[in-house]
Amino acid sequence: MAIFTGAGVAIVTPMLSNGEVNYDKLEELLEFQIKNGSDAIIICGTTGESSTLTMEEHSEAIRFTVEKVKKRIPVIAGTGSNCTQTAIDLSREAEKDGADGLLLVTPYYNKATQNGLIAHYTRIASAVSAPIILYNVPSRTGCNILPGTAVALAKNVPNIVGIKEASGNISQVAELMALADGCIDLYSGNDDQVVPLMALGGKGVISVLSNVAPQQTHDMVQKFLDGDIEGSRKIQLDALPLINALFCEVNPIPAKAALNLMGMEVGSLRAPLTDMEPANQERLAKAMKEFGIPLA
């Protein structure tokens, strides 16, 4: 059984003016997501600026999210690292605090080989019992999980159950699903490829778009699952200008800018990320309005 089916939000981490995590605002965002149709919360992923959170902040944000969500929808904790032991430590802590699943990004910068990836993920998975979703995003990590590697992990490690595919390579995803023959759950990691990956057998999306359009993103997936392919495709195509605007600068710069334009007051970003360029913010605001998202 999949950890979740539908649209999970890769939620931002709101910050106070002094740079600390704004837990009051995080609670508001969680309630906004649940009220508006999100099917899962993914906390402390790339969109949550996990790379600049301290270990203590990382664990506390996961703990807080589990506590506030209260099992209404699954909470999936981003616990990946380019250090295997750090990923083990974060994963054990998240499991202890009640996360329903773990999302493990490929090791960045040191770029493991395929054999290294198998060893890395097997060690982490052996240290916990929580279900694990692999996260393949080579554009950010420089490391690509090849289809055979993902399938070998899913077949040989019982709690590796899914993959968030953000390679952008549809042919690679098709090969993965052909090799997998149902042994791994597929989630789109790219908001502009939700419908294509659903057509290949995907269970849904782990989405940046859901931060600002949770109901529409949920509906895109649900319509596909319900057999309304035309309705699903229409939402996908209508959302493309907004999706492109949300990625015209490095994620999560535009996502936080969009939430601030909505009056959510999620604060700024941690260095080395900087606030959105004014011209790009204008483009973002225009795309939001055209997609029917009210601005403050």
Q: Which of 25, 68, 108, 164 is flagged as catalytic?
A: 164
pLDDT at 36 over 90: yes
Active site residue 35: no
Q: Which of 108, 121, 135, 187 is flagged as catalytic?
A: 135
Give how far the C-alpha of residue 22 lies from the chain's centroid of Cα atoms, to the nearest Å. Answer: 20
- What was the pLDDT predicted at 271? 94
Q: What is the pLDDT of residues 6-24, one digit of tens each?
A: 999 999 999 999 999 999 9
CA 168 to CA 148: how far, in whole Å? 17
- Both structure tokens of 293: 């998202």
CA 94 to CA 171: how far, in whole Å? 34
Is the CATH number 3.20.20.70 carried by domain 6-225? yes
Active site residue 256: no
Q: What is the mean pLDDT of the chain?
A: 97
Place of tokens 């535009």: 254
Confidence tier at 187 by pLDDT (50, 70, 90): very high
Confidence tier at 1 by pLDDT (50, 70, 90): confident
- What was the pLDDT predicted at 119? 98
- What was the pLDDT predicted at 111? 86
pLDDT at 153 over 80: yes
Contacts of 147 (CB under 8 A, 6+ apart): 172, 175, 176, 179, 180
Place of tokens 């990625």: 247
Note the residue count of the chain.
Answer: 296
